[in-house]
A = this chain, B = another copy of it.
């Protein structure tokens, strides 16, 4: 199939067919990662700029490796000590990068919508690497890729997402993508962080852990961001773990082949016990490997949209 989008901004606006195209393309790139020489020349002579206004080593490295394996050149641009600190607007910074012939701008930003704004004002391809609490589409895609690979399908899967749903871009990208492909999504966590308003998105909202995971095919745990968790809404780490931490004993009441997923970095002993994270149901490290393939696929596909002038602005 042909790809028409200049940018990858969110899963909300992608069709099921587009999502499947990314997943299928990533499957081919995953095989590249297992070869002796892990590079393909697809983006030779192209420049990818990692514009990380909010820091994230692991996502930055995943995109940097994806670009390198497509033979692109990579520039890392972090907000510290940059012009953004000198009062330059995001638009001016991005327009400057475009003027340097940056073909791709991968942006992480604390403000929801920042990637969409850039995509509108730039001819460069824009990839959203996480914007505020809005979306993190490549994380959503790699999660769905992993589920499909392990379970053989997405349609009809029961997926429970557990944690701070309210502020999670990972959760939102999962919800949009999974529902488009026909999975049933259950959200679970403390009521302050998992309000019933999510039912309007088509999800089941359950505040009792046992009930939420009993029939799940996949349990996708979110990281508890205790370094920036809102004090008034969060019950405290110990209480969270008591109520929602995943332990071996709690897994006794779940399907024996339920997958344990986590976008990382994990807090061992908080949202998940070490023996569960390292256990045989856990696919946490495979998610990391798959993320590389998804990011290669994303860069590759939006690059193929070039020349498609209707989509280019």
- A positions within 8 Å CB-CB of B: 33-39, 44-47, 49, 55, 57-58, 61-62, 64-65, 68-69, 73, 75, 77-78, 81-83, 86-89, 92-93, 95-101, 227, 264-268, 285-286, 288-289, 292
**Are B57 and A77 in contact, with the CB atoms below 8 A?**
yes
Number of identical monomers bound together in the oligomeric complex: 3
A44 to B36, CA, bound (A): 10
Given contacts A38-B45, A292-B100, contact A61 B86 (CB under 8 A): no
Partner of A65, one of B47, B64, B286: B47
A87 to B69, CA, bound (A): 29
Minimal Cβ-Cβ distance residue in B for A87: B267
Instruction: Provide the residues of chain B in CB contact with A265, threshold 8 Å.
Output: 83, 86-88, 92-93, 96
Across chains A and B, which 10 residue pairs bring their CB atoms closest together, nearest first? A37-B45, A99-B288, A88-B265, A57-B82, A83-B265, A55-B81, A68-B73, A99-B285, A39-B45, A99-B289
Instruction: Provide the residues of chain B in CB contact with A36, threshold 8 Å.
Output: 45
**Are A266 and B88 in contact, with the CB atoms below 8 A?**
yes
Instruction: Provide the residues of chain B in CB contact with A55, threshold 8 Å.
Output: 81
**Are B83 and A286 in contact, with the CB atoms below 8 A?**
no
**Are A47 and B57 in contact, with the CB atoms below 8 A?**
no
**Are B73 and A65 in contact, with the CB atoms below 8 A?**
yes
